[in-house]
C-alpha cells in the first residue's frame, strides 16, 4: 500500500527525524528515532537526527528541511503541540494532525468521542487531582467495583498506571497518578488478553495491519516489561479465531477514523475473556518503533520490512492545510507590526 504524497521526492528530500523531546518518554523516543533514522538512511533518504529539546524548531526552516518524521512520544510530541508548530512552519510531517493528535493524547476525550460513535470502551470515571478524598474513592469503587485501573490520562507507555483491588491500593495509585496529571482516569478492569492493531492510511483508505496478542507475566504489561525485558510474549498472527480477528480490526479502524487520524497509528484494546468482546483502551498516534515495538512486528507479519515501513510512513508526510498563495506567511518590513 502506498501512502505517497504527491510532493515527496526521495532525491531532493531532507528529512528531520524528530526524537528525544521533553516528555517522560524521552528515552524510548531516542530508541525509536534512532531506528527510524538508520532505516531511512538505508533506503537512501537524507535523514538527520533532530532533538527539539536541544534545538529550536526554527532551525528546520533555516536549514531547509523538507519533511519531518515524528518519532516523539508523549507530551510535546504526540499531543498536537509539535504538529501545530510544523503547520506554522509549513513543513510536512508524519502522522495525525493537530486536533487528532491532541484528542488521542487525552484518554478521557478519546473515550468520550468513541462513546459518541457507539464504540465499545471500558466503563470509566474521572477524578480531579484536587479531590482525592477517601469518600470520592469509595464512591468510584462502589459504582464500578474492584479491580480498577488508575491512569494519568495524558501520559503513555503505561507511565503512572496501576491496578487496584482495594481502598488502600486505590489511594496509593491515585497519589502516583497525580504526579503526572491534573486528572485521574479510573477505568473498570477488563480481565482478558491485551491486543493491539496498527493502522496505516487515512479515512476510508485506511487499512488495519495484523492484530498482535500480548501475554505479559501476571498481566504486567508495564513500562519496564514493554521496553527493557524479554519476558512478554507477542503473538502475530494473533492466534484468535479469524472472525474475532476481523472484528478487532474493524473496531480499530472505526476508532481511528472517529478521531480523524491519518498516516499511521496503533489502537490498543482488551479482549474480555468472559464475553470475547473487544474493548477499546487508547489510540497511539506516534507509536514506538523500537526493537520491542508492535507496529514493526505487525508490519513484518504482513510482509513489510522495518525499513520499508519507515519509508512508507515518511511518504505519507503532509500538512493539514497545504501552503499556497492564499496562506503564505506575511513578510513584515522593518518597523511594521510593532
Q: What is the DSSP string of 94-123?
A: SS--HHHHHHHH-HHHHHHHHHHTT--B--
First to last CA, the chain: 50
326 DSSP assignment: G
Give, in degrees to the nearest 5, the angle at Cα 238 between 236 and 242.
Answer: 130
Give the pLDDT band (50/70/90) at residue 74.
Answer: confident
Residues with Cβ within 8 Å of 239's Cβ and at least 6 positions away in sequence, in order, are 213
Catalytic residue among 156, 245, 266, 312: 266
Q: What are 306's three cell numbers?
A: 522495518
Q: Distance between CA 270 and CA 280 in Å, rounded?
A: 7
Catalytic residue among 155, 183, 193, 282: 282
The CA distance from 79 to 102, in Å, is 4
**Confidence at residue 219, expressed as pLDDT on a 0 to 100 scale:** 53
Cell of 69: 518524521
Q: Catalytic annotation on 336? A: no
Q: How far apart are CA 137 and CA 251, in angstroms?
A: 32
Among 327, 315, 323, 324, which residue's Cα sits nearest to residue 95? 315
Give me the pLDDT at residue 160, please: 85
Residue 278 burial (C-beta neighbours within 10 Å; 0-12, 13-18, 19+): buried
DSSP code for 173: H
Is pLDDT larger for residue 216 or for residue 234? Answer: 234
Residue corresponding to grid cell 457507539: 118
In 67-182, which residue ranges form alpha helices assigned H by DSSP?
Answer: 81-89, 98-105, 107-116, 134-144, 167-177
Q: Which residue has the cell 491515585?
A: 174
Q: Mean per-residue pLDDT for 71-78? A: 92
**In the numeric block, which cell numbers belong to residue 64?**
531547509
**297 against 338, higher pLDDT:** 297
Tell me what percent of the residues of the chain surpass a pLDDT of 90: 77
What is the mean pLDDT of the segment spanning 98-119?
Answer: 97
pLDDT of residue 2: 35
- Residue 218: which pLDDT band, with cuts at 50, 70 and 90? low
Question: What integer pLDDT is reported at residue 334 of this predicted model?
Answer: 47
- Looking at the predicted structure, is the pLDDT value of residue 254 above 80? yes
Catalytic, 157? Answer: yes
Give all strands (DSSP E) within 154-232, no chain letters.
162-164, 183-188, 192-200, 207-208, 212-215
Active site residue 312: no
Annotation says 49 is catalytic: no
For residue 246, what are the contacts with CB-CB under 8 A and spacing of at least 6? none
Catalytic residue among 80, 201, 288, 316: 288
> Among the options 284, 286, 293, 298, which is catalytic?
284
Query: Model confidence at 5, in pLDDT bands (50, 70, 90)?
Result: very low
Q: What is the number of alpha carbons within 13 Å of residue 131 lying toward its C-beta? A: 8
Query: Is the model's pLDDT at 63 over the cut of 80?
Result: yes
- For residue 234, indicate whether it is catalytic: no
The predicted model gives 123-141 an average pLDDT of: 91
Domains detected in the chain: 14-95 (3.40.50.20), 103-120+191-315 (3.30.470.20), 124-188 (3.30.1490.20)
pLDDT of amino acid 323:
63
> Which is catalytic among the residues 78, 187, 245, 268?
268
Cis (ω within 30 of 0) for the bond into 237?
Answer: yes
Q: Is 166 a catalytic residue?
A: no
Active-site residue, 194 included: no
pLDDT per residue over 173-194, tens digit each? 999 999 888 899 999 999 999 9
Q: Which one from 93, 180, 227, 279 is the annotated catalytic residue? A: 227
Going by pLDDT thresholds of 50, 70 and 90, the confidence category of residue 153 is confident
Among the listed residues 309, 289, 291, 264, the one whose alpha carbon sits nearest the alpha carbon of residue 42: 309
Mean pLDDT of the chain: 89
For this structure, is 268 an active site residue? yes
Q: Which member of 157, 238, 252, 293 is catalytic? A: 157
Q: Which of 25, 106, 193, 245 is catalytic?
A: 25
Confidence tier at 7 by pLDDT (50, 70, 90): low
**Cell numbers that stand for 166 in this block:** 482495594
Arithmetic mean of pLDDT, 214-219: 74
Residue 170, pLDDT score: 95
Amino acid at each position: 500500500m502506498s501512502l505517497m504524497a504527491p510532493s515527496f521526492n526521495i532525491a531532493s528530500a531532507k528529512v528531520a527525524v524528530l526524537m528525544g523531546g521533553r516528555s517522560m518518554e524521552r528515552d524510548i523516543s531516542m530508541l525509536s528515532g534512532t531506528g527510524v533514522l538508520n532505516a531511512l538512511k538505508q533506503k537512501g533518504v537524507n535523514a538527520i537526527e533532530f532533538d527539539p529539546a536541544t534545538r529550536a524548531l526554527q532551525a528546520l526552516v533555516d536549514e531547509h528541511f523538507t519533511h519531518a518524521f515524528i518519532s516523539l512520544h508523549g507530551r510535546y510530541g504526540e499531543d498536537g503541540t509539535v504538529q501545530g508548530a510544523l503547520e506554522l512552519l509549513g513543513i510536512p510531517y508524519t502522522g495525525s494532525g493537530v486536533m487528532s493528535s491532541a484528542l488521542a493524547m487525552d484518554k478521557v476525550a478519546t473515550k468520550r468521542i468513541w462513546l459518541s460513535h457507539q464504540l465499545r470502551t471500558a466503563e470509566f470515571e474521572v477524578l480531579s487531582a484536587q479531590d482525592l478524598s477517601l469518600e470520592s474513592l469509595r464512591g468510584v469503587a462502589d459504582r464500578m467495583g474492584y479491580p480498577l485501573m488508575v491512569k494519568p490520562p495524558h501520559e503513555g507507555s503505561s507511565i503512572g498506571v496501576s491496578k487496584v483491588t482495594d481502598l488502600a491500593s486505590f489511594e496509593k495509585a491515585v497519589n502516583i497518578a497525580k504526579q503526572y496529571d491534573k486528572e485521574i482516569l479510573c477505568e473498570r478492569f477488563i480481565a482478558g488478553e491485551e491486543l493491539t492493531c496498527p493502522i496505516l492510511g487515512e479515512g476510508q483508505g485506511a487499512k488495519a495491519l495484523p492484530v498482535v496478542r500480548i501475554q505479559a507475566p501476571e498481566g504486567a504489561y508495564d513500562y519496564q516489561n514493554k521496553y527493557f525485558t524479554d519476558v512478554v510474549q507477542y503473538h502475530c498472527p494473533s492466534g484468535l479465531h479469524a472472525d474475532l480477528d476481523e472484528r478487532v480490526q474493524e473496531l480499530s479502524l472505526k476508532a481511528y477514523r472517529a478521531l480523524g487520524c491519518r498516516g499511521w497509528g496503533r489502537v490498543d484494546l482488551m479482549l474480555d475473556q468472559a464475553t470475547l468482546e473487544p474493548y477499546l483502551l487508547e489510540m497511539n498516534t506516534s507509536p514506538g518503533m523500537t526493537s520491542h515495538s508492535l507496529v514493526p512486528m505487525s508490519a513484518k507479519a504482513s510482509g513489510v520490512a522495518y525499513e520499508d515501513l519507515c519509508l512508507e510512513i515518511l511518504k505519507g508526510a503532509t500538512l493539514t492545510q497545504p501552503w499556497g498563495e492564499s496562506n503564505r506567511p506575511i513578510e513584515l518590513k522593518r518597523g511594521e507590526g510593532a
